[in-house]
Structure 1
Amino acid sequence: MPIKSSKRQYGPKAATKVKRAMHEMKEGKLKSGKSGKPVKSRKQAIAIGLSEARKGGGKVPARRGKS
């Protein structure tokens, strides 16, 4: 049985971006894409934070495919 390595999947930049997105979502200031509607979902706020971290060159795994 292969041994799993315990490397961090997400870097510190990803953590700060997600944290900021969560705070904005809780304050009602986080807006989604083109529509500009306020984000209400916790999952969507995390996705926005990770997307921003990717654009900023942070260590974030590639996006999962749609199921």
Structure 2
Amino acid sequence: MQPKRKTRRWSADVTEHSDALDLQKGVFKSDSPDAIAKSLKRSAEQSHRRKADPFRSALSMLTFYMNRAGKNLTAGHRRTLMAAKDRLRQLFGRKPAAKRRLKHQ
């Protein structure tokens, strides 16, 4: 007997059933880095499902989304998400990240 085949959408399963944050629907589709960062901060502070501190949970979820989207992200949307990371650091009173350059600018 063959073992049950795993779903192809494992990242969606991780987001829904792990100790991930309870995110606002469509949060990553916004064109505003400020709106994305504020939503992630609010979700991280209100979530009872997270294991780490709110800043790490919010930043991890944003990074997870960017990594899973991979090449499907447009350069403009990747810049928006990178700016959201910087804004998230500001909202939590953290030091800004070192300057970085995106490929294919």
- TM class by shorter chain equals 0.3 to 0.5
Bigger helix share: 2
Bigger radius of gyration: 2
Q: Which protein, 1 or 2, shows the higher relative CO under an 8 Å CA cutoff with sep ≥ 6?
A: 1
- TM-score, scaled to structure 2: 0.25
- TM-score, scaled to structure 1: 0.36
